[in-house]
Structure 1
Amino acid sequence: MPRERTPPPLTRLPRLVFGRSEALPADSLARAHSHPFGQLSYAGEGVIEVTTPVSSHVAPPRRAVWVPPGLLHEVTTTRPAAMRSLYIRADQTIFCPPRCLVLRVTRLARELILTAAALPPDYDEDGPAGRLAHVLLDQLATLPEADLSLPWPADPALAALCRELRDAPDDDRDMDALARQAGMSGRTLARRFEAQTGLRFGAWRRRQRLLAALGRLEAGDNVTAAALESGYASVSAFVAAFRDMFGATPGTFLRQRKQEGGIP
């Protein structure tokens, strides 16, 4: 059973940027909710997943998820995680058009996020803290997007199938078998899936499996275990797919992670 947590009941922010820090347990869940302001969730340790009605977004360490004001979303972790959340007033248009996305966090942005999250709620907006908040917003607007988002189909049968595959990435049924479960032919599934998500079903499934592997690697699983539990029969195929998506092998990815460090 997930360990539910309740987001703070804020209706307005005391300052331009309001920060908070959380140590999230394994299998934590903040059920679907929304805020009248934007939220940046930075993963310092562990992996954070933010799910909206139309997509899911995975933030491993050194990544952050941006949720625009008013968007319904839930936040989950499968392993323990450390999160810094920054709530930002709705009149600050950082990303256009407004949408949920995952960002690559630079070292400078990381230090600004950590510093802003530690500011008192009533910091002086005309003093150094206020100027830091504006520098932070400028830096956030320059961060590159990370390809760690997964669109969801609108078709209820396809969406249910995707949720099932997300919970069991090692499911090895082929597309025709999955289509039969959804009450359609393989050709119909392929056509509807690409029309509704912009991705071919095979590409969606590959991305979903690799995103699932991130959490296992971050938790300490070795490459072989992460590959098998994510649905890959061959470690070499997993490493090649991982490199193609993330630009580094799993081993290099983890070494970079340790070199850069997490939240102090």
Structure 2
Amino acid sequence: MEYRQTDTSCPLLQQLDRLPTLPRPVLGHAQSLPNQAIDRPHRHPWVQLSYAVRGVVTVETTDARYLAPPSLAVWIPPGLEHGVRLGSETRIRSLYIAADALPERGCQVLEISPLLRELIVAFSHFPVEYEEAGAEGRLVRVLLDRLACAPSRALMLPWPRDPRLLPLCLQLAAQPDCPLPLGHFSAQLGLSDKTLSRAFKADTGMSFRQWRQRCRLLAALPLLERGERITDVALACGYDSLSAFIAAFRELLGRTPGDYMQQR
């Protein structure tokens, strides 16, 4: 019997977390997965590529948070514990890739070109055990080649390991519009501004200001994907002016929020 990936009764998809190996170099599925099925921390002996054809995918690890709108995807290496969260309107096309099918790389956000997007979508409708020697196998080889050279993007938010900093970062991530300055948090922790700034840089590789700006911009992506007004998104993410939000957004994503909305 040939199992289709759109068939939710497929034993291979139901038992994915118990498979010792993949039946083919790449496994995928076209159906949208419920949040509860993938939100819990878990790991695989293979690569997972979490890609949303609509909405935003959020991948959480102990070290960082990764966000990917439809022009991007999160590459999760084998053995890394992670959880995946989706918005209610998000539709994903996850790929599971044999660990030896592509060169190793760490967890990161990859750029998905229009060609790569179409390859992923086309593959998601293949049989699970597709014909490797035929046209389907040739498409898979092109897909893997395009993934191997996909550039990475900085849509990740590193979590600090310093127990003094983590509660502060979690608070700011939950409240991106929080207006409190660095001095408020350094006073709370009984530190000087300089000491807190040094600790932030040492633990995250970013200054407090850079980390907070990245946090706000990542919080903006799901709101833009829901179609909210750009001005409202800027205010909700703690920006005092629309121009400051536009400039920061362009610096991180290479385009303005207006361009991003049009490309949706």
Hey, what's the Cα distance between the residues in 2 that align with 1:25 and 1:61? 18
Amino acid at match of 1:43: A
Kindly tell me: are residues 203 and 48 of structure 1, through their superposed partners in 2, closer, same or farther at Cα, counting changes over 3 Å?
same
- For residues 127-180 of structure 1, give each alpha carbon's deviation from its aligned partner in whole angstroms, at most 9, with x where no partner exists: 221222121111101111122112221112212221111111011111121233
State the partner residue of 1:15.
24
What SS is found at the alignment partner of 1:21?
Answer: coil
Q: Is residue 2:125 matched to residue 1:118? A: yes
Q: In 2, are the aligned partners of 1:27 and 1:79 still within 8 Å (CA)?
A: no
Gapped regions of structure 2 (runs ≥ 5): 1-13
Greater gyration radius: 2
Q: In 2, are the aligned partners of 1:26 and 1:81 still within 8 Å (CA)?
A: no
Amino acid at match of 2:17: P
- For residues 47-78 of structure 1, give each alpha carbon's deviation from its aligned partner in whole angstroms, at most 9, with x where no partner exists: 11111111111101121110000001111134
Q: Is residue 2:52 matched to residue 1:43? A: yes
Q: CA deviation at 1:13?
A: 1.1
State the partner residue of 1:171.
178
- For residues 105-146 of structure 1, give each alpha carbon's deviation from its aligned partner in whole angstroms, at most 9, with x where no partner exists: 111111111112221111122222122212111110111112
Amino acid at match of 1:9: D
Q: In 2, are the aligned partners of 1:25 and 1:81 still within 8 Å (CA)?
A: no
Q: In 2, are the aligned partners of 1:161 and 1:182 still within 8 Å (CA)?
A: no
Which of 186, 190, 202 is the aligned partner of 2:197? 190
State the partner residue of 1:218.
225
State the partner residue of 1:55.
64
Hey, what's the Cα distance between the residues in 2 that align with 1:161 and 1:27? 27
State the partner residue of 2:98.
89
Hey, what's the Cα distance between the residues in 2 that align with 1:187 and 1:138? 46
What SS is found at the alignment partner of 1:23?
Answer: coil
Q: CA deviation at 1:85?
A: 0.5
Gapped regions of structure 1 (runs ≥ 5): 1-5, 258-264
State the partner residue of 1:104.
111
Q: TM-score, normalised on structure 2?
A: 0.88
What SS is found at the alignment partner of 1:66?
Answer: strand
State the partner residue of 2:73.
64
- For residues 194-223 of structure 1, give each alpha carbon's deviation from its aligned partner in whole angstroms, at most 9, with x where no partner exists: 111111110011011011111101101101
Task: Considering fraction of residues, name the structure with more strand.
Answer: 1
Q: Is residue 2:132 matched to residue 1:135? A: no
